[in-house]
Amino acid sequence: VTGASFVVFNGALKTSSGFLAKSSIVEDGLMVQITQETMESLRQALRDKKDFKITCGKADAGDVKEYVDICWVENEEKTNKG
C-alpha cells in the first residue's frame, strides 16, 4: 500500500511496450502509465462511480503483479482530509 498526495494517469503507453501498465512514484505522488483502451475504461468507471483495478507489470511476467485500485468509499471521514 502506497499513500500519495496526487495521482497522474497517463494514457500514452503503447500496447507494443510489453507492459500491461506501469506505476512509479513521482515526488510525493504516483504516476500510472496505461494504454489508451485502459484510459477509456477508467474514465467510464469514474463517470459511473465504479471501483477500478489496474494491473501493472510486464504482460508475460507470470504471477508477480502490482495493482492500482481505485475505490469509492461510503464514509468520507476515514479518508485523508488533506
pLDDT tens, residue by residue, 1-32: 667 789 999 999 998 998 999 999 888 899 99
Whose grid coordinates read 476515514? 78
Tell me the CA distances in angstroms from 22 to 14, 15, 42, 56, 60, one per residue in order: 11, 12, 15, 5, 14
Burial level of 45, CB count in 10 A (0-12/13-18/19+)? middle
Judge: domain 4-68, CATH 3.30.1360.220: yes
Domains of the chain by residue range: 4-68
Q: What is the pTM of this model?
A: 0.79
pLDDT, one tens digit per residue, over 24-56 is 988 889 999 999 999 999 999 999 999 999 999
